[in-house]
Structure 1
């Protein structure tokens, strides 16, 4: 139940949020379905698609952050204790950091393998590491672990939204659902 104390986010903020969710769901599906990357792997098929979707995530999150910093979000629920509001801010901050860092790690790893990275074979992107770079290869290993960390953090975010909806009942979940209107 949305209350006047918990105004909804704007339509563009909701759009960026749910588009990010959709693109991430696609990316995780591709990541699970694509073959493991080995020394002789080529960036074709699902591997190439994974690279393009990762680059798309970076672009989408940067646009989303630009929107977020140029538009004040609605006030937070005052029902929630300050420590929970702080936890929410930290979680959101970590989500943004990982949503940018994770694709950049994969991109650096692709560059270290000598692969060209582009946005769906239309917009070529610069290499983030030199071919053969030890750091680029290490970032590939960290990329896989970080993908799991991001998934756990997403789970925490979803659990918190459900906690707000069904335990606290403060309308927080409704702030980001499509169809809810921004209250003044």
Structure 2
């Protein structure tokens, strides 16, 4: 990439390259020009700001091709789709397989919470109520009334599903 297009990425390994060279490698179509894309990924792999670059890529809309933060544009799109699914913003899993993310990339707390909600949604009414009793035993609730309120909520949700 280049500092002109991505000013917050100053100090990146790609900003030291001549503009024509940077465009050649980082704007390559990974499917038609795999060598150029692999070269760009290798440059990113040794870059000190790669985590920030990938984080910026996950927050923005980018072109249909190229390498950003060590990942191809298509891998970033797939990662963003999986991120939306993990956060519960999307009901069905993406059609593409989950791309491999760099070791430093950590999922957000929202994606962890959505995964917990999906696991709970697959439980029966009885299993969910039993979970409340286990939480009471562990001391999760300050009072028994809080646990009863939670069971009432689960019951009302189960009734809505049965009547729908």
Provide the TM-score with structure 1 as the length reference. Answer: 0.26
- Whose relative contact order is higher, 1 or 2, with alpha carbons under 8 Å and at least 6 apart? 1
Provide the TM-score with structure 2 as the length reference. Answer: 0.28
Q: Work out which of the two has the higher radius of gyration on C-alpha atoms and give 1 or 2.
A: 2
